[in-house]
């Protein structure tokens, strides 16, 4: 098992782009989603833009290679003056799963939320993704009672 010292979780840097794109493509394939190349280009640029409401973290191994990512969207809400943080995507490369990388990313998000006084961090998961849900349950104490609905207008 990797020790925490064997990887780190940090905001993306330009040199992370190739690893991120490779993992992003694998993530999209897993969920059978197609994203236009221009959209991917713009998303990556937003992660590097400190004024964007989108944030990301990259998990890097000891050699600095990207082994995972998480994407966050900060947004205003009607329940608090502090922003909510939606964890939109999280991916860990297959060779690094069950080694603490996903938990470290979640902890980094939660620590960042506390440091920035965000009101809430929340996310959704496929109901059949048992390994991810076991991790999420261990971090949160279990899913809340909300039911997620979607109206797809594009893509």
* 84 strand-pairing partners: 75, 120
Q: Which residues contact 124 (CB under 8 A, 6 or more apart)?
A: 148
Considering the entire predicted model, what is its pTM? 0.90
Residue 75: CATH number of its domain: 3.40.630.30
In a domain, 71, yes or no: yes
Q: How many CB atoms neighbour CB 102 within 10 A?
A: 22
**Considering the domain boundaries, does residue 154 fall inside one?**
no
Residue 26: closest CA among 100, 89, 91 = 91
Per-residue pLDDT of the chain (155 residues; tens, 9 = 90+): 444 558 899 999 999 999 999 999 999 999 899 999 999 999 999 999 999 999 999 999 999 999 999 999 999 999 999 999 999 999 999 999 999 999 999 999 999 999 999 999 999 988 888 888 888 889 888 888 888 788 888 76
> Mapping DSSP to helix (H, G, I), strand (E, B) and coil, where does residue 117 land?
coil
With respect to residue 49, please indicate whether it lies within any of the assigned structural domains.
yes
Residue 26 lies in a domain: yes
Question: Domains in the chain: how many in total?
Answer: 1
CB 39 within 8 A of CB 21: no
DSSP 98: T
Structural domain includes residue 108: yes
Range of the domain at 29: 4-140
């Amino acid at each position: 098992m990797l020790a925490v010292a064997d990887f780190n979780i940090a905001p993306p840097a330009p040199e992370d782009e190739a690893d991120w794109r490779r993992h992003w493509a694998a993530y999209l394939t897993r969920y059978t989603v197609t994203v236009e190349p221009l959209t991917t280009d713009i998303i990556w640029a937003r992660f590097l833009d400190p004024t964007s409401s989108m944030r990301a973290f990259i998990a890097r191994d000891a050699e600095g290679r990207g082994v995972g990512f998480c994407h966050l969207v900060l947004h205003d809400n009607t329940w608090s003056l502090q922003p909510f943080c939606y964890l939109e995507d999280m991916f860990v490369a297959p060779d690094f799963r069950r080694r603490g990388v996903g938990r470290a990313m979640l902890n980094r998000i939660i620590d960042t939320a506390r440091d920035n006084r965000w009101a809430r961090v929340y996310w959704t998961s496929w109901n059949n993704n048992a390994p991810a849900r076991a991790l999420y349950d261990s971090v949160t104490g279990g899913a809340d009672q909300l039911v997620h609905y979607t109206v797809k207008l594009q893509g």
